[in-house]
């Protein structure tokens, strides 16, 4: 059967190709991208088309376009996108009748396809995890401070709710420090019984106490020599050990249990906690002098719900990660993304990662839809409200938040105040007033 392709058909086909298609004009302007950009950068075509190469530079590394304009030759390159996808980009110059470049067309294939093709065994860590997904300004500021702190040896403290990325940021500091080729030792202070913690951290001399190993034991601080020690959940360290720790921080020396010979260590200490240490000080559970020392270089990672811009790129990052891990290929619908964006994420990025992993494995269809969401999130949308009642502290604030969601969603869809007014059955004056209020927030 023959079928004449119309222009629209052709457009449809290119738009839905698995490979990413990207077209520049002859002067760095993006004239076309297809829908695969969502999978590769977490962006919609409309966010990209019309922009210049220079505005988009942060989304991949390295670049190939300037060399095509210069050499006028086809060129292939391996790249990494902002959300950690490994890409293989073939850029082709397209010429006009005078032999001048008219367009540069790129066909960009991702690593996932390679893996399907050759049925590789999966590497548990296909991405470079020191690449933290970071789109929001607050998170960018955190990373900037972290980079500064990686250059100096002072102790620093990372705070934030559970699952916000404290351990990951500590590793990032280590990986960007001159100590990066030395050990990174992480100790979860809440997981080790307090009577054992002292010997774990500082070690002991042979015969230091009954039941001790006859040869003595090297403490974790010494094991990490030259590297970095992460004291996770530092709020759980018993008061008596805190004094010894302060000594290590100030003098870089300590005494193993039962020893009178001080040991000098060259380590960078990073502490992390999701508890309010100031409160622990007030109840006498944490030494104030240690707290003030830790506080000098504190980095607070805000919860995911306060940096909504990071959610969508993270969704695509985890979608790629788990698709590769389980050798499954999925797309996710815009509606599902919107619901995920509205969730409160009490478990922060860890919870988001778990939700995406579950959906990648469980979903039967190619496209992940709202009905594939965990039942509590799925039912939120049909109740028309994504607020957790327990989290509401002010009725007026909650109503305002919900009002803003409705108005902004309607504006996203309808684009003008007149159409928003019609869609929500309110007067145009009221729609304009509400838009003014929430668009500028
Ligand atoms: N910005 C990010 N980009 C990509 N992955 C992230 C990001 N932040 C956190 N993660 C991932 O989310 C998970 C939770 O992060 P992490 O363990 O660092 O949180 P945490 O704050 O230390 O949690 P806890 O308080 O429970 O110790 C990890 O798998 C981590 O790799
Ligand atoms: Mg942690």
Ligand 1 proximity of 350 Cβ (cutoff 6 Å): yes
| Averaged pLDDT for residues 50-79 | 90
Q: What is the pLDDT of residue 77?
A: 87
Distance 132 CA to ligand 1 centre (A): 9
Sign of the C-alpha dihedral, residues 380, 384, 389, 393?
positive
Which two three-digit tokens encode residue 328?
A: 């499954």
Which two three-digit tokens encode residue 195?
A: 């009577």
Angle formed at CA 160 by CA 332 and CA 175, multiple of 5 degrees: 80
Ligand 1 proximity of 187 Cβ (cutoff 6 Å): no
Q: How far apart are CA 409 and CA 270, in angstroms?
A: 42
Residue 135 — very low, low, confident or very high, per pLDDT cuts 50/70/90? Answer: confident
Residue 127 — very low, low, confident or very high, per pLDDT cuts 50/70/90? Answer: very low
Distance 360 CA to ligand 1 centre (A): 19
Ligand 1 proximity of 143 Cβ (cutoff 6 Å): no
Q: How far apart are CA 96 and CA 392, in angstroms?
A: 62
Taking only the tens place, the pLDDT of each residue in 378-399 is 655 444 444 455 555 666 777 7
Q: How far apart are CA 150 and CA 180, in angstroms?
A: 10
* 158 Cα nearest atom in ligand 1: 21
Q: How far apart are CA 263 and CA 246, in angstroms?
A: 15
Distance 160 CA to ligand 2 centre (A): 10
Ligand 1 proximity of 274 Cβ (cutoff 6 Å): yes
Ligand 1 proximity of 168 Cβ (cutoff 6 Å): yes
Q: Has residue 350 got a pLDDT over 70?
A: yes
* 168 Cα nearest atom in ligand 1: 18
Residue 171 — very low, low, confident or very high, per pLDDT cuts 50/70/90? Answer: very high
Ligand 1 proximity of 170 Cβ (cutoff 6 Å): no
Q: Has residue 202 got a pLDDT over 70?
A: yes
* 349 Cα nearest atom in ligand 1: 12
Q: Has residue 119 got a pLDDT over 80?
A: no
Find the ligand nearest to 313 CA.
1
Taking only the tens place, the pLDDT of each residue in 206-258 is 765 666 566 677 888 998 999 999 999 999 999 989 999 999 999 999 999 88
Find the ligand nearest to 348 CA.
1
Residue nearest to atom 26 of ligand 1 (CA): 162
Q: What is the pLDDT of residue 48?
A: 94
Q: What is the pLDDT of residue 331?
A: 86
Ligand 1 proximity of 217 Cβ (cutoff 6 Å): no
Give the range among 45-59, 178-192, 400-414 with minimum mean pLDDT.
400-414
Ligand 1 proximity of 353 Cβ (cutoff 6 Å): yes
Angle formed at CA 67 by CA 64 and CA 69, multiple of 5 degrees: 110
Closest CA to 37 of 52, 54, 56: 56
Measured in whole angstroms, the distance separating CA 139 from the mean position of its chain's CA atoms is 9
Q: Has residue 282 got a pLDDT over 80?
A: yes
**Chain position carrying tokens 């590297």:** 227
Q: Quick count: other Cβ atoms within 10 Å of Cβ 406?
A: 14
Residue nearest to atom 15 of ligand 1 (CA): 165
Give the range among 26-30, 55-59, 79-83 with minimum mean pLDDT.
79-83
SS3 sequence of the chain: CCCCCCHHHHHHHHHCCCCEEEEECCCCEEEEECCCHHHHHCCCHHHHCCCEHHHHHHHEECCCHHHHHHHCCCEEEEEEECCCCEEEEEEEEEECCCCCEEEEEEEEEEHHHHHHHHCCCCCCCCCCCCCCCCCCHHHHHHHHHHHHHHCCCCCEEEECCCCCCHHHHHHHHHHCCCCCCCCEEEEECCCCCHHHHHHHHHEECCCCCCCCCCCCEECHHHHCCCCEEEEECHHHCCHHHHHHHHHHHHHCEECCECCCCCEECCCEEEEEECCCHHHHHHCCCCCHHHHHHHHCCEEECCCHHHCHHHHHHHHHHHHHHHHHHHCCCCEECHHHHHHHHHCCCCCHHHHHHHHHHHHHHHCCCCEECHHHCCHHHHHHHHHCCCCCHHHCCCHHHHHHHHHHHHHHHHHHHHCCHHHHHHHHCCCHHHHHHHHHHHHCC
Find the ligand nearest to 146 CA.
1
């Amino acid at each position: 059967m023959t079928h004449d392709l119309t222009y629209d058909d052709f457009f449809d086909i290119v738009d839905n190709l698995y490979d990413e298609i990207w077209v520049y004009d002859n002067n760095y302007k993006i004239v076309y991208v297809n829908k695969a950009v969502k999978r590769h950068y977490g962006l919609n075509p409309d966010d990209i088309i019309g922009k210049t190469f220079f505005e988009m530079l942060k989304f991949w590394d390295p670049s190939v376009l300037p060399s095509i304009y210069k050499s006028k030759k086809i060129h292939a390159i391996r790249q990494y996108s902002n959300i950690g996808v490994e890409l293989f980009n073939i850029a082709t110059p397209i010429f006009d009748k005078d032999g001048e470049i008219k367009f540069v067309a790129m066909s960009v294939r991702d690593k996932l396809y390679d893996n399907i093709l050759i049925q590789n065994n999966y590497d548990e860590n296909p991405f470079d995890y020191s690449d933290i997904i970071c789109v929001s300004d607050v998170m960018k500021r955190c990373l900037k401070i972290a980079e500064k702190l990686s250059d100096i040896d002072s102790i620093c403290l990372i705070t934030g709710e559970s699952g916000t990325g404290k351990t990951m940021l500590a590793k990032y500091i280590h990986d960007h420090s001159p100590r990066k080729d030395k050990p990174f030792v992480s100790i979860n202070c809440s997981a080790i019984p307090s009577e054992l913690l002292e010997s774990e951290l500082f070690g002991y001399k042979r015969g230091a106490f009954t039941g001790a190993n006859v040869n003595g034991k090297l403490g974790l601080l010494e094991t990490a020599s030259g590297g970095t020690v992460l004291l996770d959940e530092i709020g759980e360290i018993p008061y008596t050990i805190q004094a010894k720790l302060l000594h290590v921080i100030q003098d870089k020396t300590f005494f193993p249990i039962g020893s009178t010979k001080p040991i000098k260590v060259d380590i960078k200490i990073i502490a992390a906690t999701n508890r309010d240490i100031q409160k622990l000080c007030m109840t006498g559970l944490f030494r104030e002098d240690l707290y003030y020392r830790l506080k000098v270089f504190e980095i607070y990672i805000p919860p995911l719900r306060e940096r909504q811009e990071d959610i969508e790129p993270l969704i695509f990052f985890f979608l790629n990660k788990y698709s590769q891990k389980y050798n499954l290929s999925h797309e996710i619908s815009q509606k599902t993304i919107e619901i995920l964006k509205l969730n409160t994420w009490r478990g922060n990025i860890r919870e988001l990662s778990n939700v995406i992993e579950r959906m990648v494995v469980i979903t039967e269809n190619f496209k992940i839809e709202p009905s594939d969401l965990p039942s509590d999130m799925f039912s939120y949308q049909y109740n028309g409200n994504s607020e957790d009642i327990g989290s509401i502290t002010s009725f007026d604030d909650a109503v305002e938040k919900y009002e803003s969601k409705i108005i902004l969603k309607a504006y996203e869809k309808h684009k003008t105040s007149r159409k928003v007014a019609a869609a929500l059955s309110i007067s145009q004056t009221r729609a304009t007033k509400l838009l003014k209020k929430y668009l500028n927030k």
